[in-house]
Structure 1
Amino acid sequence: MSTINQMSQLKTMLRQDNVYHDLSVPQLVENILQRNEADLTSSGAVRATTGTYTGRSPQDKFIVRDQESDSVVNWGPTNQAIDEETFINLYHKVLHHMGQNQQLFVFNGFAGADHDHRLPIQVVTEFAWHNLFARQLFIRPDTDELKEHEPEFNVVSAPTFKADPSKDGTHSEAFVMISFKHRTVLIGGTEYAGEIKKSIFSVMNFLLPTKNVLPMHCSANVGSKHDVALFFGLSGTGKTTLSADEHRRLIGDDEHAWSDHGVFNIEGGCYAKCINLSQEKEPQIYNAIRFGSVLENVNLTEGTREPDFDDTSLTENTRAAYPIQNIDHIIQPSIAGHPNTIIFLTADATGVLPPISKLTKEQAMYHFLSGYTSKLAGTERGVTSPQATFSACFGAPFLPLPPATYAEMLGEKIDQYDSQVYLVNTGWTGGPYGEGKRMKLSYTRAMVQAALEGAFDHVETHQDPFFGLHIPLQCPGVPDEVLIPRQTWEDRVAYDQSASQLAMKFHENFKQFRHAGENIAQAGPCYKG
Structure 2
Amino acid sequence: MLKFKNGALDFVTIGKENLSQVKRNYSKAKLYEEIIQNREGQITHGGALVVRTGHAQERSHRDRFIVKDDISEKKVCWGPKINELEPSYYETFINRLLSYMQNKNVYVQNCHVCADTEYQIPIRIVTETAWHSLFVRNMFFPIYNQQDPEKYEPAFTVIHVPSFQSIPEVDGTNSQTTVIVNMSHKIVIICGSSYSGNIRQAVFTMVNYLLPDEIFPMRCAASMSFSGDVALFMGREGTGKTTLAIDSQSIFIGDHTHGWGKNGIFNVENGVYAMVLDNNEEDFPEISECIHKFGTLLENVSINLESRDIDLSDGDLTMNTRASFVNKCLLNSSNKENYPHPKNLFLLTCDAYGVLPPIARLSPEQTMFGFLSSFTTEFVKTATGDIAPSFKVCFGDSSLTYPPHIYAERLRKKIQENNVSCWLINTGWSGKKFGEADRFPIKYSRAAIQAVMSGDLDEIEFETDPVFRFQIPKVCPGIPKELLNPRNHTDNIGEYELRANRLVSEFIKDFSQFEDQLPDDLKGIFKNILPIEDMYDFSELGFSM
Tell whether the 8 Å contact from 1:220 to 1:250 is kept in structure 2 after alignment: yes
Residue type matched to 2:488 in 1? Q
Residue type matched to 2:260 in 1? W
Tell whether the 8 Å contact from 1:220 to 1:251 is kept in structure 2 after alignment: yes
Match of 1:71 among 41, 59, 74: 74
Tell whether the 8 Å contact from 2:273 to 2:324 is kept in structure 1 after alignment: yes
Matched, 1:18 2:26: no
Match of 2:349 among 341, 346, 349: 346
Tell whether the 8 Å contact from 1:510 to 1:521 is kept in structure 2 after alignment: no
Alpha-carbon distance, 1:142 to partner: 3.4
Aligned to 2:157: 154
Matched, 1:412 2:418: no
TM-score (norm 2): 0.92
Distance 2:263 2:91 in 1: 39
Aligned to 2:535: 528
Aligned to 2:181: 178
Alpha-carbon distance, 1:467 to partner: 0.7
Distance 2:282 2:322 in 1: 18
Return 431-440 or 227-236, whichever deviates more: 431-440
**Secondary structure of the equivalent of 1:517?**
helix
**Secondary structure of the equivalent of 1:263?**
strand
Distance 1:118 1:410 in 2: 22
Return 36-45 or 84-93, whichever deviates more: 84-93
Distance 1:295 1:524 in 2: 42
Return 365-374 or 310-319, whichever deviates more: 365-374
Q: How many residues align?
A: 522
Match of 2:86 among 83, 101, 106: 83
Distance 1:391 1:422 in 2: 18
Tell whether the 8 Å contact from 1:109 to 1:140 is kept in structure 2 after alignment: yes
1:32-76: CA deviations, max 9, x gaps? 000001111112111111111111111101111111111342223
Alpha-carbon distance, 1:400 to partner: 4.4
Alpha-carbon distance, 1:17 to partner: 5.2
Aligned to 1:483: 484
Aligned to 1:34: 37
Distance 1:184 1:96 in 2: 17
Q: Are the structure 2 counterparts of residues 442 and 523 from structure 1 closer, same or farther at C-alpha, using a change threshold of 3 Å?
A: same
Aligned to 2:207: 204
Matched, 1:510 2:516: no
TM-score (norm 1): 0.94
Tell whether the 8 Å contact from 1:4 to 1:88 is kept in structure 2 after alignment: no
Tell whether the 8 Å contact from 1:376 to 1:383 is kept in structure 2 after alignment: no
1:80-132: CA deviations, max 9, x gaps? 1112221222122212212342x210001011111111211100011110111
Aligned to 1:357: 360
Tell whether the 8 Å contact from 1:506 to 1:525 is kept in structure 2 after alignment: no
Return 66-75 or 131-140, whichever deviates more: 66-75
Matched, 1:189 2:164: no
Unpaired segments of 5 or more residues in structure 2? 537-545
RMSD: 2.1
Q: Are the structure 2 counterparts of residues 48 and 354 from structure 1 closer, same or farther at C-alpha, using a change threshold of 3 Å?
A: same
Residue type matched to 2:333 in 1? I
Q: Are the structure 2 counterparts of residues 13 and 69 from structure 1 closer, same or farther at C-alpha, using a change threshold of 3 Å?
A: closer
Alpha-carbon distance, 1:154 to partner: 0.2
Return 331-340 or 6-15, whichever deviates more: 6-15
Distance 1:417 1:41 in 2: 46
Aligned to 2:218: 216
Alpha-carbon distance, 1:429 to partner: 2.2
Unpaired segments of 5 or more residues in structure 1? none
Aligned to 2:301: 298
Distance 2:161 2:527 in 1: 44
Tell whether the 8 Å contact from 1:229 to 1:340 is kept in structure 2 after alignment: yes
Alpha-carbon distance, 1:4 to partner: 5.3
1:129-187: CA deviations, max 9, x gaps? 01110110111223368867421110000100011101011100000111111110000
Aligned to 1:431: 432
Alpha-carbon distance, 1:399 to partner: 3.0
Q: Are the structure 2 counterparts of residues 84 and 343 from structure 1 closer, same or farther at C-alpha, using a change threshold of 3 Å?
A: same
Aligned to 1:169: 172
Identity over aligned pairs, percent: 35
Residue type matched to 1:177 in 2? I
**Secondary structure of the equivalent of 1:387?**
strand
- Structure 1 residue ranges, 4+ long, deviating more than 6 angstroms after superposition: none
Match of 1:122 among 121, 124, 147: 124
Tell whether the 8 Å contact from 1:366 to 1:521 is kept in structure 2 after alignment: no
Tell whether the 8 Å contact from 1:232 to 1:239 is kept in structure 2 after alignment: yes
Q: Are the structure 2 counterparts of residues 353 and 143 from structure 1 closer, same or farther at C-alpha, using a change threshold of 3 Å?
A: same
